[in-house]
Structure 1
């Protein structure tokens, strides 16, 4: 049993495994930083609660500013240099937060860090998609979530220990881990762009069938401006994720003000949520293979609504634990669907650009989510949860319908986005292509 398992790992493409490693590093950094940033800002930095969301918005704003300009750069200069530069850039930015003082300097550092981060996650997904068969993409994107969540276990746990010394110390841990990831990419990663284009027949047509000879203008670098299918899909992603993000941004303040959890307790809570994802993501993905996209998004919506109802009822420790568990399950259901849908819609020569456009939706979530959530919390502690219930209900229905439409208009090799993928109609599947992916758990 062990030897075949190890053999399957050795047979997987190295860039895909390195992509999982970099997801771990990024997950560690996010896990060490996000739960403690609101606490650091409101206590050690003396920043008003209503302004904390604006600082989160600076980070996401840097991503939004950069994505239209450099979002598709990995389609031109390659995946490797982009991953190396973005990892080192984000790591340096997190380290700089340890040394800066004042709202203005913090905002500038977060803005520049966000610009570097704008291409990190979409380029990792692109590199994985380049070297793995389309039929295995749902499984690989699930593994990417597992890797990120594993980092989000270690990150908050490390942050909880460092918070005993100083909340500012978590910036050193977050930055150091991404610098390590950048160095590993520099020496170990090989370029994957030519592999992805060769596997896709080097299709350089845009999604509407026209050529891309007009150049790399803004509209070419942000395909949502050109592809209506993608734009509709990402609109619902933004609405669903904005409300879902309130748990990360508001729970630390909610638990602290209610006297429920200490900063270390907040770190332990989010470490538990990440551990839940690591333990259950592949099982949930396997169960979800036979379900429609609408079934999955509605299930995620119901789970999130139940979490918000619990939080609105009580800030007690049990309610917090159950709520983050329900939100984790919701992300397990929806998380792999979106990158799979985007990859299905994208021509191979434009894959990084499409992933970057998808990342814009996540950036909007990271900007609007904390800003709106903390602003609502400043008005009334339970208002984010009450307002989030109808928003999640509408967004989950719209997202399921949008992914279903993407399913029917995507590349021929994709018949479902929940993990159940049809064989290509062009001929039998090459057994070696299946060997390039991870075995089914």
Structure 2
């Protein structure tokens, strides 16, 4: 697949390829953890069923608490050490679950694991953005989705085999994969922070000096940049509603007698496989479309999925709904990190990506809680309530991403004009998306 994006895979920037590898490792670990965690907690770890949801909340809570505070640390100490420490930390957390027993110990481990996880994904995206051209970001972020989805297919498959021996052994597989990823980063990844800042330092010299003096507040860009805050608000609204499909379908299908627990797992493995098979094709087909066109298309796909679920809980409706949800994610998924990166000054790129990850973490915590609460009131209420919410959020998200793209385009034009006036050559990009200095 790399060959479809570049004249030769050897021409692709190595840090970006390593980022895709780490995305695969993280997807594998998450895929091994999530399906089997409730079964392990109730049958082997001595954890009451009522506390299992709280433990998932500890994992998401660690990410939510840490991301605004330490998410931008890669802008201060560098991308390489953050990726090494975070991947080894998350891997060690998964390995520790093999040994823990009881609610308190599991909660502490998951909280610490979530803290390490809070900087993993945004820093990987930052590394990719550092070494690729802005015009290539949507394709690279699409490929990141593919890598993560591939891991989320293989993770549950490997976990299903290991669970035959012991449920807790799936944590060994997930943890080992991330530890190996961290070791690869240690020996193969070069620092990229200087490359990213070389793009348009002249345009942000005064701003960068100011940020270095502001300390911790510079790690909270969502509260300082109104454009980013508005963008992330629409992201949260769109993603929370879309998450209801993933969070509520297991209950909806089980209560209707349509799918067993293993059938639900197979349904979402199919959705991940669909993402792997079609993401790059869809990205190439729509790369010339406007942001509003893409978000409205994603919104219509999600609305149709809700309509199918509201009409029926039959197998065909479930398959159609998760297929449409996957298509929506193919359209919107690469857009959000691209827009966030477009808004970010080079010296604060990791901070902005971390703020974006907070929006995703809110989806993972608010989505299931709101969706299941609506389901408790009426089985079809999440689908009916989701239709107007998605319609509004898709329009708002498209407008916000469009403004971010225009702002980035105008800034690059101003930067090149200043470079010409000062007789300094602007930073160039090679056709394969890598940086060419001078």
Q: Which position in structure 2 is the counterpart of 1:375?
A: 373
Give the secondary structure class of the aligned counterpart of 1:80.
Answer: helix
Partner residue, 1:211:
210
Question: Please, which moves more after superposition, 13-22 or 239-248?
Answer: 239-248
Cα distance in 1 between the residues matched to 2:9 and 2:57: 39
- Residues 53/436 of structure 1: CA separation in 2 closer, same or farther (3 Å cut): same
C-alpha separation in 1, matches of 2:14 and 2:287 = 26
**Partner Cα distance (2:222, 2:361) in 1:** 14
Provide the rounded CA distance (Å) in 1 between the counterparts of 2:6 and 2:218.
42
The 1:96/1:314 distance shift into structure 2, 3 A limit, reads farther
CA spacing shift, 1:54–1:396, aligned 2, 3 Å? farther
- Per-residue CA deviations over 1:311-366 (Å, capped at 9, x if unaligned) read 23333332222211111000000001000001111111111111111111111111
Alpha-carbon distance, 1:130 to partner? 0.9
* 2:178 corresponding residue in structure 1: 178
Q: Larger % of helix: which?
A: 2
Moved more, 277-286 or 55-64: 55-64
Aligned-partner SS, 2:215 = coil
Residue in structure 1 matched with residue 238 of structure 2 by the alignment: 240
Alignment map for 1:260-275 (pairs within 5 Å): 260-275=258-273
Structure 1 segments unaligned to the other structure (5+ residues): 416-422
Secondary structure of 1:245's counterpart equals helix
CA distance 1:108–1:148, shift in 2 (3 Å): same
Mapped partners of 2:139, 2:95: distance in 1:
33
How far did residue 136 of structure 1 move?
1.1
Q: Which residue of 2 aligns with 1:420?
A: none
CA contact (8 A) 2:100 2:106 kept: yes
Q: Report the equivalent of 1:351.
A: 349
Aligned to 1:338: 336
Alpha-carbon spacing, 1:381–1:109, altered in 2? closer, same or farther (3 Å): farther
Change (3 A) 1:376 1:14: same
Contact 2:337/2:353 (<8 A) preserved: yes
CA distance in 2 between counterparts of 1:206 and 1:267 reads 52
Aligned-residue offset at 1:198: 1.9
How far apart are residue 177 of structure 1 and its match?
1.6
CA offsets, 1:1-34, max 9 Å, x none? Answer: x999996211111111000000111111222223
Query: Which secondary structure does the structure 2 equivalent of 1:260 belong to?
Result: coil
Cα distance between partner residues in 2 of 1:386 and 1:39: 31
The count of aligned residue pairs is 427
Structure 2: distance between partners of 1:414 and 1:226: 22
Q: Where does residue 193 of structure 2 map in the other structure?
A: 193
Corresponding residue number in structure 1 for 2:278: 280
Moved more, 370-379 or 160-169: 160-169
Distance in 2, matches of 1:358 and 1:38, equals 28
Equivalent residues of 1:161, 1:264 under 8 A apart: no
TM-score by length of 1: 0.87
Deviation at 1:108, TM superposition (A): 2.3
Verify the 8 A CA contact 1:75 1:349 in the aligned structure 2: yes
Distance 2:312 2:165 in 1: 30
CA pair 3-360 structure 1, distance change in 2 beyond 3 A = closer
Equivalent position to 1:229, from 208, 219, 227: 227
CA contact (8 A) 1:160 1:265 kept: no
Aligned to 2:122: 122
Deviation at 1:405, TM superposition (A): 1.8
CA distance in 2, matches of 1:216, 1:374: 40
Residue number among 401, 414, 432 corresponding to 1:435 in the alignment: 432
Question: Within 1, Cα distance between the matches of 2:411 and 2:129?
Answer: 14
The 5 A counterparts of 1:65-76 are 65-76=65-76
Per-residue CA deviations over 1:113-142 (Å, capped at 9, x if unaligned) read 111011001100111111111221111111
Q: After the TM superposition, which residues 364-403 of structure 1 pair with which residues of structure 2 at under 5 Å, given as runs?
A: 364-403=362-401
TM-score, length of structure 2 as denominator length: 0.88
Partner deviation per Cα, 1:135-171 (whole Å, 9 max, x = no partner):
2111111111111111122122223334445544433
